[in-house]
Amino acid sequence: MLEDDLPSVRTLVPGLLRVVEAHGPAALVEEARALLLTGDDEMDEMLLAQWRAPTDTQFFAKAFLQPYARWLAESGGRPVDRVFERHESRCPFCGGRPQVSFLQAREASAESGNRDLICATCLTTWPFRRVVCAYCREERPTKLGYFHSPEFGHIRVEACDTCNRYVKGVDLTRLGLAAPLVDDVASAPLDLWAQEHGYTKIELNLVGL
């Protein structure tokens, strides 16, 4: 349970806050300074609130919990204190929403590759059907749009006109060395494009895009 693990999660907090204070964007620097002065109880409350009811706008709470969630997933633990819906567009481990989608060839003979999602909370990956919205699970192809920009040949915006959400898809079959989480951050112009066209990202990444 996170409640029992809070003392160890809390030991990581000052390090990250100091890095952000020294190198982060102005808005986050201010928040980091405020958090450095926050007491343990208040910090614990913030972490528990984010764990139980995750939001992607709490940059620090999300960043503090990501290594913990990853460790829990890798060590075979279970997030017993997290209640979540179970369906295919949620992480099978922690119930988190997908950060990014990617295509990769599983077998040498596979022509077009398989689609996987990466959890924004614990970074677990899970297989997902190809032509389905990763938020509302819309399946009608006429409602699903895929948008490319010549600037990012192996990244596309996968948008849904039913829920108006989108996620970025990284095609590892076209660029084997691509790293989906890094590409998601590096292709910010695609987020601006999607927002201008009325789409909301399923889950903002750690830099708030």
Can you give the binding site for Zn ion, defined by CB under 5 A? 91, 93-94, 96, 119, 121-122, 124, 133, 135-136, 138, 160, 162-163
Shortest distance, position 70 Cβ to Zn ion, whole Å: 9
The whole-angstrom distance between residue 51's C-alpha and the CA centroid of its chain comes to: 14
Residue whose token pair is 């509302």: 136
- Give the residues across from 155 on adjacent strands: 170
Shortest distance, position 149 Cβ to Zn ion, whole Å: 21
Shortest distance, position 28 Cβ to Zn ion, whole Å: 24
Shortest distance, position 39 Cβ to Zn ion, whole Å: 29
Q: Which CB sits closer to Zn ion, 35 or 168? A: 168
Which tokens belong to 123?
A: 């970074």
| Length in residues, the chain | 209
Q: Which CB sits closer to Zn ion, 32 or 73? A: 73
Q: Which CB sits closer to Zn ion, 38 or 162? A: 162
Distance of alpha carbon 17 from alpha carbon 36, whole angstroms = 7
Residue whose token pair is 């160890």: 8
Shortest distance, position 133 Cβ to Zn ion, whole Å: 3
Q: Which CB sits closer to Zn ion, 105 or 206? A: 206
Q: Please answer whether residues 36 and 51 qualify as being in contact, where contact means their C-beta atoms are separated by less than 8 angstroms.
A: no
Q: Which CB sits closer to Zn ion, 138 or 191? A: 138
Distance of alpha carbon 160 from alpha carbon 193, whole angstroms = 14
Cα distances (Å, whole numbers) of residue 185 to 86, 97, 98, 112: 27, 17, 14, 24
Shortest distance, position 30 Cβ to Zn ion, whole Å: 30
Give CA angle at 160 (131, 69), nearest 5°: 80
Q: Which CB sits closer to Zn ion, 97 or 154? A: 97
